[in-house]
Amino acid sequence: MTIAAAVSAPGVSAPRRRLPPDACDAHSHVFGPLDRFPPVEVSRYALPDASLDVHARIRATLGIARGVLVQPAPYADDPSAILHALSQSNGALRGIAVATANAPDELLASWAAAGIVGLRFTEMRAPGGERYPGTVGFNAFRTLASRMREHGLHAQLWANAETLASELPDLVRLGVPLVLDHMGCPSLDHDSADPALKSILQVFRSENVWVKLAICRVSKRPLSFADVRTVHEAFIEAAADRCVWGSDWPYVRLSPAPDAGRLLDLFLEWTADATMQHRVLVDNPARLYGFGGKK
């Protein structure tokens, strides 16, 4: 496969306020170096220069001690770049991989031992209506669920709110913790609350479902992000103990790219109580991802 040269990953500014010790960015990505970790699938976007070294500098600027690396679609079910990052992180990073329905049990066990804590399943569609190349759908989760329980892996779900509202009542019965990407991707086109979001929140309140407060792919106001504040607050009000914060750096397919420091400023502004900030940034990810032996 011919690999296009990487483009520079977006930089970040430091947040205006210092974060609590052991704060976690629960959703970011590493790419490359491409000569060592080339993509498996042809990418639908320019691959960023977002190697482990760049990622570490970004976390240092933000004051983020811990992180969760999510498998990008161009790497399909090959998490070599993430596994390398985990091996060099001294316990500061965890990973979310992608596995097909026929993944060998020994492979899942080795990933879990290396710091992979979940598998990502995607029903979000690329422009044109097909699933992004390299992603795996919800049916694979149904097949893998029993082995995921055995190895302590949760399921990270990326789909639009309508799909999640339809699928969640069935998926929660599989007995695997569920983590919703990008606040469940609700529509903000309605004057009133998205009816699919209401259904998601109903399940979220009462089941073992978590949400990533990652706002940049939901908002249609990329300068202020003000349109997602009510959704952000709705999840915290519904079940603050199962909310984690994520940047989504390095923001592939987003132009202009957000500034993760500014996104942290908004989180601290919208979640003004210091106890709640600590819960979302430190306590909740420690439980969900097993930092400090708290899983």
In 3D, which of 31, 22, 67, 35 has the Cα closest to residue 49? 31
* Parallel, antiparallel or unpaired: strands 93-97 and 48-49: unpaired
pLDDT digits (tens, 9 = 90+) for 162-174: 999 999 999 999 9
- Segment 164-200, tens digit of pLDDT: 999 999 999 999 999 999 999 998 875 457 899 999 9
Domains and CATH numbers, the chain: 19-289 (3.20.20.140)
**What mean pLDDT is reported for the chain?**
93
The one-letter code for the residue type at 42 is: V
Token duo for residue 75? 């790497």
Q: At what angle do helices 260-270 and 52-62 cross, to 10 degrees?
A: 40
R_g of the chain, CA atoms, integer Å = 18
**pLDDT at 2 (0 to 100):** 46
- Phi first, then psi, for residue 79 (nearest 5°) are -90, 30
Max Cα-Cα span within the chain: 50
What CA–CA distance (Å, rounded) separates 216 from 50?
18
C-alpha 277: how far from chain center:
18
More confident residue, 223 or 14: 14
Question: How far apart (Å, rounded) are the C-alpha atoms in residues 215 and 205?
Answer: 20
pLDDT per residue as tens digits for the range 97-117:
999 999 999 999 999 999 999
Q: How many CB atoms lie within 10 A of CB 255?
A: 6
Asked if pLDDT for residue 44 goes beyond 90, the answer is no
In whole angstroms, what is the distance from residue 17 CA to residue 265 CA? 7
Using one digit for the tens of pLDDT, what is the confidence trace for 127-176? 777 888 899 999 999 999 999 999 999 999 999 999 999 999 999 999 99
Q: What is the pTM of this model?
A: 0.95
